[in-house]
Amino acid sequence: MAEFQRRKGSETRDLILSFAESAVLEKGFGGTSIDELIAAVGITKSGFFYHFKDKNELAKALLQQYLDREEELFDRLFERADDLNDDPLHGFLVFLKLLAEILSDLPKTHPGCLVSAFCYQDQLFSSEIRELNAAGVLRWRQRFLERLELIARHYPPKIKVDMSDLADMVTGIIEGGIVISRSVRDKDVLPQQVLLFRRFVRSVFLGN
Amino acid sequence: MAEFQRRKGSETRDLILSFAESAVLEKGFGGTSIDELIAAVGITKSGFFYHFKDKNELAKALLQQYLDREEELFDRLFERADDLNDDPLHGFLVFLKLLAEILSDLPKTHPGCLVSAFCYQDQLFSSEIRELNAAGVLRWRQRFLERLELIARHYPPKIKVDMSDLADMVTGIIEGGIVISRSVRDKDVLPQQVLLFRRFVRSVFLGN
DNA sequence: AGCATTGGTGTACCTGTGGTACAGTAACCA
DNA sequence: TGGTTACTGTACCACAGGTACACCAATGCT
C-alpha cells in the first residue's frame, strides 16, 4: 500500500505555492486553510509541513516568488521596450504601452497583487515579511526613479513634479487599477489607467 | 450575579463595528476572530450573535458604514471647496488640496480602505457584499465623472483623456497611495500622490 | 550491494474559531 | 404588569493550525 506519487519535491512545493497564491488573492491569507491546499495538491498535512515549517514560511515563499517574478517581468518589458527605441523617454513610453497591452490581453481580470493583499493583512505576518514587502515596493520606486531621472536629463520637465512621487505613481496606478478592476469586475480599467498615466508622463516631459 | 453592563444596544453594536474595522484592516477578515472582538468589547459570544446573525452580516455592516462615512466626507470636502471657489475646476483643485491636507494631518499612516481590503478577500463574502463593494466604487466614479464633465464644459481639455478614466484615477490614486504608504510605512506618500494627481488635473485643463 | 537522503504517509493529540441551540434574566418602557 | 431589548450561560459540533513522532519507499551516491 501507500503508493503515493513520488514527485521531484520542488515540483510539489511549486504546486503548493501556485494553489496558495490564487487562494490567498481570493480569500486572503487568514481565509486560506492548509487543508484546502493539501486537498488541491493531493498530499497530507505532514507533507505540507515537510515543505514549509509553518504558515508564515508559506507566506514568505509566496511573497518572495511573487517579487522575483515581477522583477523578471519588468526586466523583460524594459528590455523589449528599449530594444525598439533607445531614447529613454520613448523607451519608457513603449514600456508602459507594452504593460497595458499585456494587462489588456489577460483572459480575465488581473488576479491581484500579493503586495497589496499582504499589506492589508500585515499583522498576520512576521516583521521579516513586512520588511520584504516594503523592500519590494522600494525596489519598484528605485527602478522607476532611475529611469525618470535619466529621462529628465534629456527632457527638462515641462511640469514641476517630484520624480520620486512620479516613480511611486507607477506602482500606485497599478495597485489602484487592480483594486478597481477587481471590484467592479471590469478587466479593462487597469490597462486604461496605465495608459492614462502614460499620457501624464508624456505631458510632463513633452508638454502635450 | 450577572451584573452585566446594560448599554443602549446600538452603542454595543457600534463598538463591535469599530473594533472590527481596525482589526480587519490589520489582519484581514479571515484573520479577525469573533473571540477577539467580544473580548475587546466585553460581551459574550451570544451577545455578538444577538447583534449579527453571522460573520457575513458583520462584514456587510462594516462595509456599509464605511461607504456611508466616505460619502459624507466627500460631500463635506466638496462643499467646503466650492464654498471657497465657485469655479468648477478650481473647486475641484481645492477639493484635492483639502483631501491631501487631511491625509497629511493624520497622526499615523492611513488605516486603510475597506473596499480594497474586501476586494482582496471577496470569495469570503456573499455576492451581496461584492455588489455593495462594486456599487461603492461606481458611486465614486460617477461623482468624480460628473464634476470632470462639468469642468470640461468650461475648460476644453488641453490633453485628450477619457473623463471616465480620469474619474477612476481619483479612486485609484488613493487606493494605490494607501497601499504604498502602508507598505513602506511612510504616511506622506498618500498625500503626495493626491497632490501629484492634482498636478495632472491642472495640466489636463490648464495646460501647465 | 548497501546506505543515506529525499519526499513523503499515518496516527495521535491539543488549542482556537465559527457556529448552533436554547433557556434564562435584568433593565427599561408603556 | 407585561413585553421588548440586550444580553448571559451552558453545551455542543466541525474544522483549522499546529506539534510530535514513527515509519516507509524510491532515488542517488559510493
For every residue of B80-131, DSSP letters joined together read HHHHH--SHHHHHHHHHHHHHHHHHH-SSS----HHHHHHTSGGGS-HHHHH
The mean pLDDT value of chain A amounts to 94
How many other β-carbons are positioned within 10 Å of the β-carbon of residue B73? Answer: 12
Asked if A152 and A163 count as a contact pair (C-beta separation under 8 A), the reply is yes
How many other β-carbons are positioned within 10 Å of the β-carbon of residue A83? Answer: 10
How far apart (Å, rounded) are the C-alpha atoms in residues A94 and A74?
12
If one looks up domain B7-52 in CATH, what number appears?
1.10.10
Three-class SS state of A16: helix
Q: Which residues of B touch A159 (CB under 8 A)?
A: 199, 203, 208
Asked if B149 and B173 count as a contact pair (C-beta separation under 8 A), the reply is no
Q: Helix, strand, coil proportions of chain B in percent (round to 5)?
A: 75, 0, 25
Three-class SS state of A108: coil
How far apart (Å, rounded) are the C-alpha atoms in residues B29 and A143?
33
Asked if B194 and B180 count as a contact pair (C-beta separation under 8 A), the reply is no
Under CATH, which architecture does the A65-205 domain have? Orthogonal Bundle (1.10)
How far apart (Å, rounded) are the C-alpha atoms in residues B72 and B67?
9
For chain B, give every domain's residue range.
Answer: 7-52, 64-205
CB–CB of A29 and B26 under 8 A?
A: no
CATH classification number, A1-52, choose in 1.10.10, 1.20.1530, 1.10.3470, 1.10.3210: 1.10.10
Statement: residue A9 has pLDDT above 70: no
Three-class SS state of A133: helix
B44 CB and strand D closer than 7 A: yes
How far apart (Å, rounded) are the C-alpha atoms in residues B25 and B182?
11
B162 CB and strand C closer than 7 A: no
- As ranges, strand D nucleotides with an atom below 7 A of a protein CB are 5-11, 15-22, 24-27
Q: Which residues of B touch A204 (CB under 8 A)?
A: 203
What pLDDT score does A3 carry?
Answer: 43
The DSSP result for chain B, as a single string, is ---PPP--SHHHHHHHHHHHHHHHHHH-STT--HHHHHHHHT--HHHHHHH-SSHHHHHHHHHHHHHHHHHHHHHHHHHHHHHH--SHHHHHHHHHHHHHHHHHH-SSS----HHHHHHTSGGGS-HHHHHHHHHHHHHHHHHHHHHHHHHHHHS--SS---HHHHHHHHHHHHHHHHHHHHHHT-TTHHHHHHHHHHHHHHHHHT--
What pLDDT score does B114 carry?
Answer: 97
Nearest neighbour of B177 by CB, restricted to A138, A172, A192: A172
- Which residue is nearest to the C1' sugar atom of C6, using CA? A9
Asked if B113 and B174 count as a contact pair (C-beta separation under 8 A), the reply is yes
**Would you call B188 an interface residue with chain A, using a CB distance cutoff of 8 Å?**
no
Statement: residue B94 has pLDDT above 60: yes
> What tens digit of pLDDT does each residue of B123-163 get?
999 999 999 999 999 999 999 999 999 999 999 999 999 99
- Cell numbers for B92: 475641484
Statement: residue B4 has pLDDT above 70: no
- Kindly report the nearest CA distance between residue A137 and chain B, in angstroms: 7
Angle at A162 between CA A173 and CA A172, to 5 degrees: 15
How far apart (Å, rounded) are the C-alpha atoms in residues A14 and A6?
14
CB–CB of A28 and B25 under 8 A?
A: no
What pLDDT score does A6 carry?
Answer: 54
Average pLDDT over residues A140-146: 98
Q: How confident is the model at residue A86 (pLDDT cuts 50, 70, 90)?
A: confident
A4 CB and strand C closer than 7 A: yes
Statement: residue A19 has pLDDT above 50: yes
Strand D within 7 Å of which CB atoms in A 115-174? none
| Residue A5 DSSP class | P
How far apart (Å, rounded) are the C-alpha atoms in residues A110 and A103?
7
What pLDDT score does B11 carry?
Answer: 87
Q: How confident is the model at residue A175 (pLDDT cuts 50, 70, 90)?
A: very high
Q: Locate cell 471657497: which residue? A: B84
Q: Which residues of A touch B116 (CB under 8 A)?
A: 116, 120, 179
Backbone angles phi, psi at B70, to 5 degrees: -65, -45
Q: How confident is the model at residue A184 (pLDDT cuts 50, 70, 90)?
A: very high
CATH classification number, B64-205, choose in 1.20.58.220, 3.30.750.24, 1.10.357.10, 1.10.3210.10: 1.10.357.10
> What tens digit of pLDDT does each residue of B45-83 get?
999 999 999 999 999 999 999 999 999 999 999 999 999
What pLDDT score does A1 carry?
Answer: 33
Average pLDDT over residues B25-54: 94
What is the number of helices (H) and of strands (E) in chain B?
A: 9, 0
Side-chain half-sphere CA neighbours of A166 within 13 A: 26
How many other β-carbons are positioned within 10 Å of the β-carbon of residue A113? Answer: 20
Average pLDDT over residues A150-164: 97
Nearest nucleotide by C1' position to the B47 CA atom? D7
**Would you call B34 an interface residue with chain A, using a CB distance cutoff of 8 Å?**
no
% pLDDT > 70, chain B: 96
B44 CB and strand C closer than 7 A: no
What pLDDT score does B3 carry?
Answer: 43
